[in-house]
Amino acid sequence: MNRLKIGLAGLVISMSCAAWAESEFTVYSGYQSSPHSTVENTNTGKSFYTGWEGKPFSFPIYLGLRYTDWVTDDWGYAVNYAHTKAYSTDLNSSSNTGTSGNSYTRLEFTDGANPVTVIAMRRFTYRSIRPHVGAGIGISVPHVEVTWSGNKTFEYQYGGPVATLLAGFNYPISDKWNLLTEFQMHYMMIDVAITGGRLKTNLITNALNVGVSYRF
């Protein structure tokens, strides 16, 4: 009898989890920016401190995609891709001049720093709104666009590890569709090859997102 009770309890739990499980596909965009960071060139052994612009509404625009699997009603995991961008604001300044007068005339990730992360998700219920938070890790695949002292690099590369944090709200508008508002942050440890050396920087991108999700 005890084994029967345990079996029935397990069946109820399994059925409950199956009822909770759902998936979402989300598309989002918004306003994305980046704070200053230090850029190091291993060829010259020099570094300089630069500001960054995100230019989220210039082509190619800032855009994100996310697949979320809600394993229970409250917990899930997501695979997130964000087409974040960064343009140095301090080209040809005295601070970016290396040895023998070497300096940058181009330093940007126009076709994206491109973080791809796996995120643990937690959501809550507040009246008709579903707040959510998440944290995860992954990699970046930046399009490196660097010109310094006539040396040019223009290609996609593996950039390094990424940490992601996000928090936001879902607003159900039907049985299948949600509207989304969200803050999303990526911390990217960029270490890429450039002609004649390597370029390193810890790039942070912050974004205020709006989007739409489809549940299935």
- pLDDT above 80 (res 3): no
Q: Please list, residue by residue across 115-154, b when 16 or more beta carbons sit within 10 angstroms of its beta carbon and e when fewer do.
A: bebebebebeeeeeebebbbebebebbbbbbbbbbeeebe
CA–CA gap between residue 175 and residue 170 (Å, rounded) = 13
pLDDT in tens, 27-86: 999 999 999 999 999 888 888 899 999 999 999 999 999 999 999 999 999 999 999 999
Cis before residue 131, ω within 30 degrees of 0?
A: no
Residue 96 is predicted with a pLDDT of 61
Instruction: Determine the straight-line distance between the first and last CA of the chain, rounded to whole angstroms.
Output: 39
pLDDT in tens, 14-28: 444 444 578 999 999
Please check whether residue 21 is in contact with residue 182, taking contact to mean a CB–CB distance below 8 angstroms.
no
CA–CA gap between residue 6 and residue 25 (Å, rounded) = 36
SS (H, E, C) 119-130: EEEEECCECCEE
Cα 183 to chain centroid, rounded: 11
- pLDDT above 80 (res 105): yes
- pLDDT above 60 (res 9): no
Q: Which structure tokens are listed for 134?
A: 């998440």
